Amino acid sequence: MPFQGAQRAPRYGNAWDKLSERIRRERPVCEWEGCIQPSEIADHIVARVDGGPDSEENVRAVCRHHHAVITGAQLRQRQLRGG
């Protein structure tokens, strides 16, 4: 049984797939200041749950490590706000 669906998050639609692909192609290096890792993930600057749009201006390309850092920080902020 091939794991065809495993590579992309099923909750994201096709438009997002295309945008994130383009972002990673146009910005091949992690956008975290000082980081030189290849970008692997298109990350929302303002998270979707906070109303951030799926637009180029609201997306940054980051490496796996910094995506985890960002996601962890956002989760903590949300918890602090009681959300």
Query: Which residues here bind Zn ion, judged by CB under 5 A?
Result: 30, 32, 35, 37, 63, 66
What is the smallest separation between the CB atom of 82 and Zn ion, expressed in angstroms?
A: 30
- For 61, the token pair is 């390309």
CB 43 within 8 A of CB 52: no
What is the smallest separation between the CB atom of 25 and Zn ion, expressed in angstroms?
A: 17
Within 13 A of 29's CA, how many CA atoms are on the CB side?
Answer: 5
What is the smallest separation between the CB atom of 68 and Zn ion, expressed in angstroms?
A: 10
Of 22 and 27, which has the nearer Cβ to Zn ion?
Answer: 27
Which CA distances in Å does 20 have to 2, 23, 81, 82? Answer: 24, 5, 29, 30
Of 22 and 65, which has the nearer Cβ to Zn ion?
Answer: 65
Of 19 and 70, which has the nearer Cβ to Zn ion?
Answer: 70
